[in-house]
Chain A
Amino acid sequence: MEKLSNKERMKIPRQVMPEQDSLVRSRNFEEVNLGFTEELAVLEAERCIQCPKPTCVAGCPVGVKIGEFIQLVSERKFVEAAAKIKEDNMLPAICGRVCPQEEQCEVKCVVGKKNEPVAIGRLERFVADYEREKFGLRKPELKTKTGKKVAIVGSGPAGLSCAADLIQMGHDVTVFEALHELGGVLVYGIPQFRLPKEIVKTEIDVLKELGVEFKPNSVIGFTDTLDELLKNGYDAAFIAVGAGLPYFLNIEGENLNGVYSSNEFLTRVNLMKAYKFPDYDTPVFNVKDKNVAVFGGGNTAMDAVRTSKRLGAKNAFIIYRRSEIEMPARKEEVHHAKQEGIEFILLSNPTKFSGTKGGWLKGVELQKMELGEPDASGRRRPVPVKGSEYTIDIDMAVIAIGNGSNPIIQKTTPDLQFNKWGNILVNEETMETSKNGVFAGGDIVTGGATVILAMGAGRKAAKAIDEYLN
C-alpha cells in the first residue's frame, strides 16, 4: 500500500464501531459494542499521523506505546500490535472497553485538534480481541524463579495487573479473593453488556497458566490476617481490595424494601446472575413494567440504570443533582443510556423516600437544584431551590453515589496507616505503605476511580515490590 500523506490521513473520518441496535439491546445482556472489523481497524489506524512526539502516550496512565501499536495495525500486523500493547498493559481487551479514553489518550491526540481524535480505545480493543479469538492469548516469557512469594489481596484490576507483572519477574504470586468468583469489580460491578465476563475469565486463565495461584473465598483480615500471611511465608503483600463499602444518601425511607445500593443491585445481577432466576438461585427485585430511579451520575449509575431497563423496567430514570456537563460518567455511556430510552432528571436531589403501609418503596421526593460557584472538585456546586420539592412514583431505587473504604483490613491490621476516610496511605511513587513489605493500590488508596488507574497502581507496585525483594 502506498504511504498516505498527513493531509490524506486527516481526511479519513473517524470510523464508527458497529453496535447492537438500541431497541434490541435494551432487552438483552449481550455486549452493546461489537468491535471493529479488520477493514475498519486498518482504516482507523491510517488516521494516525505518527507524531514524532506523541502526546497521547502522556495521557495514558500506563504509558502504552500507542503510535507504535497503531502503526502495526495499519500494516495488518495485529498480533504484533497486541504484543506491543502488552509491553505496558497486560489487560488490553478489558481496558479497550472500559477505559475513559476520551479523557486520557484520545483527548491529547493531535489529529483531534482539528478533526475527531484517532479511536485509540477501539483499536486497542480490536487487536486484543483479534489475538484472543484467532490464536488464544499468548503467554509471555517468565524470568528465572526468584523463590520469593508475594500475597496479593483482591483480584480486581489492581491485583490482576500486579500479579501479571510479578509472575513475569520470577516471583511466586498468590491472589486472595473474598468472593467465590475472580475479577473483583470486573465481574460483580461492570455488566456483561459492557464487559463480557468470558473476556475477564480468559485473562485470568492466562495468569493461572503462568503459575499465579488464586484463592477465592478468602477474606483477608478474617480467613487470614495480613500479619499471618507475612509470618507464614509471604515476603511482601499488595493490598488491592477496592473501595467496597457503599455510601447511602442518609435520607428518610432508605431502608424501605426496594432500595438498593448499586453494589448490591449489580452484584445480584452480574455476579449472581439474578437475570437468569430461577435457573440461578439469587433473585433481584422484579422491575418488569415498574419505575426505577438510579441516583448518581457516574459510570456505575449508568450501568445500574441500563441494567434495570434490560430487566424490563417501564421507566428508568437517572436522577442527578448537577447538570449533564458535571456528570462523571463517560460520554459514551451517557449516550448509550439515552439511546436505550433512559430518562435523565437533572438538577434534582432526593430528600426522602416514601413507602406503602407494607414498607415497600412507593415514591421519592426531589428538590430542584441550581448551579452555584465551583466547589473543591472544580464543578459548580448544586444549591437547593427552596420550595421546589416534588414527588415522583418509583418502585425501585438504586443508590450509586460512590463507595467508602471497606473496614476489614483496617480493623485487623493495627500498624497500617489510613487517612480519615479509611484509605490506605502510600508513597505515590512506590505504593509502599507504612508497614514494611506491604504495598497498596487501586480504589482502597484513591477512593472510587477507574480500572486503568487501578491497573497503573498495580504495575507501579509490582516494580517497587520487585526492587524491595531483590
Chain B
Amino acid sequence: MHKIVSAEFLASNIKKFEIEAPKIAFKRKAGQFVILRLKEGGERIPLTIADSNHGKGTITIIVQGIGKTTMELISLKTGDLIQDVVGPLGKPSHIKKFGTAVSIGGGVGTAIAYPTAVALKEAGNETISIIGGRTKEFVILEDEMKKVCDEVYPATDDGSYGYHGFVTQKLKDLIDSGKKIDFVLAIGPIPMMKAVAEVTRPYGIQTVVSLNPVMVDGTGMCGGCRATVDNKTVFVCVDGPEFDAHKVDFETLARRNKTYGVFEKEALDHYCNIDKEFQKGLNRNNPAFAG
C-alpha cells in the first residue's frame, strides 16, 4: 500500500499526486514510469514519474481523468492509499549536452516532459519549453518549467493564454526566427507528437517522443505495448518509452490504442453507475434527504 501524501488539482480534470514510494523516488531517472493498480480487481496503468522527493520518499505523478481508472484515481485525496506501485520501469531519457533543447508538452504531456527538461538543464543545455493546452486551464507546470528553462512559451488553441495556436506553430516560428535548435522532445496527444515530428523532419533536428501504448505488466512479458518504429516491432515498456519521432509509426500506435475503446466506455459507465448508486445510498442515509 502506498499513501498519497498530497493531492491537488492543476486543472478541472488533471490532478497532481505525491505518493509514498521511497525506493522508486531514490532510483528513478527522467523518462521512467511506474505502473499503478489502485485496488484489488483494478487494472494496471503506466504513468510517467514527473518528479521525486528523496527527503520525503515520494514520487510525483500527474494524471488526467479520461477512462475509468484515471477518473477513479483523480477522485483520491491526501491520505488515501494506492494498492500497488511498481517501478521505476523503462529506459531513462537519453540525456546529454545537445546545445539548445526544446521540450514540448501538450496538456498533461507537459508533466511527462518536465522531468526530462530538468535533466536537459542539468546536462548543460540551453533549454526552451513550449507548453500547450486547449485553453489556459490546461497549460500546466508553467512555474516549474520557468525554473529549469531559459525560455518558456505557453500556447493555447483558443488564444486564452500565451501564444494563440498549436505548439507546432510556435516551434516553427522559433525555427524560422533563426534559432538554432539541436534537440526536441515532444510529449502529448499522438496527433501533436506526429505534427512535431513533421515540423522538425525537414530540418533534420533530432526529435524524441515518449509513447503511451496500452500496457499490462510493463516488464516485457506480454508484448501488448508493441509499437512499430523504423518498420520494426518494439516493446515500448522495455525498449522505450522514448523513441526517435521521425521513425515512429504513429498511425499504428493510435489505432492500437483504440483496441479497448468500447470497453473503456463500458467500464466508465459501470463505474459512474456504481458511483451514482453509492451517492444515492449516501443520500438515503442523510437526514437532509429523508423523505
Point out residues on A near B: beta carbons under 8 Å.
178-180, 188, 216-219, 222-224, 244-246, 248, 250, 254-255, 257-258, 260-261, 263-264, 267-268, 272-273, 277-283, 285-286, 358-359, 406-408
Contacts and interface: CB of A to CB of B under 8 A. Distances in A.
Interface residues of B, number: 43
A166 to B, nearest CB: 24
A255 B226 contact: yes
B104 interface: no
Contact of A255 (B85, B216, B228): B228
A216 B259 contact: no
A285 B259 contact: yes
A283 B263 contact: yes
Contact of B221 (A255, A267, A278): A267
B86 interface: yes
Contacts of B264: 283
Contact of A178 (B219, B258, B263, B266): B219
Give the 6 A-B CB pairs with smallest separation, nearest first: A283-B263, A264-B222, A281-B43, A217-B86, A359-B255, A261-B223
B53 to A, nearest CB: 18
Q: Interface on chain B toward A: helix, strand, loop, or mixed SS?
A: mixed
12 contacts: A188-B221, A222-B88, A223-B88, A250-B233, A257-B256, A278-B263, A280-B41, A281-B43, A281-B68, A282-B44, A286-B263, A359-B252
Nearest to B86: A217
Contacts of A216: 84
Nearest to B67: A281
Contacts of A408: 219-220, 238
Nearest to B45: A281
A15 to B, nearest CB: 39
A268 B215 CA distance: 11
A223 B252 contact: no
A261 B259 CA distance: 15
Contacts of B219: 178, 219, 244, 406, 408
Nearest to B256: A257
Interface in B244-275: 252, 255-256, 258-260, 262-264, 266-267, 270
Nearest to A246: B223
Contacts of A219: 86-87, 89, 219
B131 to A, nearest CB: 29
B197 interface: no
Nearest to B221: A244
A278 B266 contact: yes
Interface in B20-52: 23-24, 27, 37, 41-44
B220 A282 contact: no
B69 interface: yes
Contacts of A280: 41, 43
A54 B41 CA distance: 48
Contacts of B266: 277-278
A282 B214 CA distance: 11
B42 A255 contact: no
A263 B68 contact: no
B287 to A, nearest CB: 32
Contacts of B228: 255
Contacts of A250: 233
Contacts of A246: 221-223
Contacts of B162: none
B224 A261 contact: yes
A224 B259 CA distance: 34
B260 A283 contact: yes
A180 B37 contact: yes
Given A273-B41, A280-B43, A281-B267, 13 more contacts: A188-B221, A217-B84, A224-B23, A244-B220, A245-B223, A246-B221, A248-B223, A255-B227, A257-B255, A277-B266, A278-B266, A281-B42, A406-B220
A329 B266 CA distance: 37
Nearest to A358: B255
Of the listed residues A223, A261, A279, A407, the one surrounded by the most CB atoms of chain B closer than 10 A to its CB is A223
Identify which of A179, A216, A359 gathers the most chain B CB atoms within 10 Å of its CB.
A179
A267 B224 CA distance: 10
B267 A277 contact: yes
B217 interface: yes
B41 A279 contact: yes
A99 B235 CA distance: 32
Contacts of B68: 281
Interface string B83-99: 11111110000000000
A217 B84 CA distance: 7
Contact of A281 (B69, B223, B227, B233): B69
Contact of A222 (B27, B227, B258): B27
B238 A407 contact: yes
A178 B217 CA distance: 8
A81 to B, nearest CB: 36
Contacts of B23: 223-224
A217 B220 contact: no
Contact of B216 (A218, A267, A279, A286): A267
B34 to A, nearest CB: 10
Contacts of B270: 278
Given A281-B68, A285-B259, A272 B43 contact: yes
Residue picked from A180, A277, A358, most chain B C-beta under 10 Å: A180
Given A244-B221, A257-B258, A223 B238 contact: no
Contact of B220 (A179, A218, A245, A285): A245
A222 B89 contact: yes
Contacts of A406: 219-221, 238
Contacts of B259: 257-258, 285
B203 to A, nearest CB: 29
A4 B266 CA distance: 64
Contacts of A179: 217
A103 B24 CA distance: 45
Contacts of B24: 223
Contacts of B233: 248, 250, 254-255
B69 A263 contact: no
B225 to A, nearest CB: 9
A233 to B, nearest CB: 15
B85 A217 contact: yes
A130 to B, nearest CB: 31
Nearest to A247: B223
Contacts of B222: 246, 261, 263-264, 267
Contact of A180 (B83, B87, B220, B221): B83
A264 B218 CA distance: 11
A97 B107 CA distance: 51
